Amino acid sequence: MSALVVLERSDEIVTVILNRPERLNALTREMWHDVGTIFAALEPDDGLRCVILRGAGNKAFAPGADIAEFAERRSNRMQARDYGGVMHRAMAAVGECRHPTVAAIEGICVGGGLELAMMCDIRICGESSRFGVPVNRIGVTMAYPEIGALIERVGRQVALEILLEGRIFGATEALAKGLVSRIVPDDKVLEEAFAAANRIAAGAPLVNRWHKKFARRLMDPRPLSGDERDEPYLTFDTDDFRAGYQAFLAKTTAVFRGK
């Protein structure tokens, strides 16, 4: 991995950092690639309980793609399709991650930055954060995977409002539209993101992973199979279930081991 996307770990919580603060963490093709690779590498880690995604510094999560590299990396249809493939693999790696994910959004979160942040399960932003997808201002379309993710978050009507107007809007409107989960004071974004991650990590990790899996499956219109309908009951055969209910009865704190 390059130094453009870095990983920090504290026990069961990992932080993935878009590390280009001198450019407000504007996303390059290499950064998209690294995000996808890092999240894919985190996938099998049974000791992991939550991933926080953030931008370096406190001025921006990410303002979108680095337009400066378009001339060499995204200047025609073939290059754009290749670039899009890298983007979509990264988005899928974040969105389909079996571990819970939290986006800590400080400052600007626009275009590709918003596309990446909205793949996380929980999105926490500061009061002065700004959002939008003004790609029609540079004559660029969002591809189907990106539009699909936006529609999944906010619905078709709001997604078209965001895309057609290309307007930059504030945190309160982003919350009303469903783009973020909560707003906190600007200087509390990371604190709240880690508090959320710690609350997640305190729960049974198998249950959190199952809940993510079930929620994703319910987005698929196919009928559930018998095995799928039975899967939620597997938790009752786990050590974590026994630890959890015994701790509840004893009025103690459960220690979950993911087994």
Structural domain boundaries of the chain?
A: 5-200, 205-250
pLDDT band at 64 (very low <50, low <70, confident <90, very high): very high
DSSP state of 29: H
Residue 114 has pLDDT above 70, yes or no: yes
C-beta neighbour count of 187 within 10 angstroms: 11
What mean pLDDT value characterizes the chain?
95
* Residue 70 banded pLDDT, cuts 50, 70, 90: confident
**In terms of DSSP bridges, do strands 50-55 and 5-10 run parallel, antiparallel, or are they unpaired?**
unpaired
pLDDT of residue 60: 97
Is 237 exposed, middle or buried, given 0-12, 13-18 or 19+ CB atoms closer than 10 A? Answer: exposed
CA trace torsion 227, 39, 121, 170 (10° rounding): -160
**pLDDT at residue 94, rounded to an integer:** 98
pLDDT value of residue 6:
96
- What gap in Å lies between CA 172 and CA 164, rounded to an integer? 20
DSSP per-residue string spanning 151-182: HHHH-HHHHHHHHHH---EEHHHHHHHTS-SE
Q: Residue 19, CB half-sphere, CA atoms under 13 Å: how many?
A: 13
Architecture of the domain spanning 5-200: Alpha-Beta Complex (3.90)
Tell which wins on pLDDT, 70 or 107: 107
Residue 131 predicted with pLDDT over 90:
yes
* For residue 169, pLDDT beyond 90: yes
Q: How many other β-carbons are positioned within 10 Å of the β-carbon of residue 124?
A: 28
- Say yes or no to pLDDT of 181 above 60: yes
Predicted local confidence at residue 104, as pLDDT: 98
Interval 84-96 mean pLDDT: 96
- What pLDDT sits at residue 37? 97
- For residue 186, pLDDT over 80 is answered with yes
Nearest Cα to 194, choosing from 52, 97, 60, 32? 52
Structure tokens at 77: 């249809």
Q: What pLDDT is attached to residue 1?
A: 55
Q: What is the mean pLDDT of residues 119-126?
A: 98
101: tokens are: 């994910």
CB atoms within 10 A of CB 95: 18
pLDDT of residue 2: 65
What is the pLDDT at residue 74? 83
pLDDT, position 84: 93
Give the 3-state DSSP-derived string for 187-238, with helices as H, strands as E and coil as C.
Answer: HHHHHHHHHHHHHHHHCCHHHHHHHHHHHHHCCCCCCCCHHHHHHHHHHHHC
Q: What is the pTM of this model?
A: 0.94
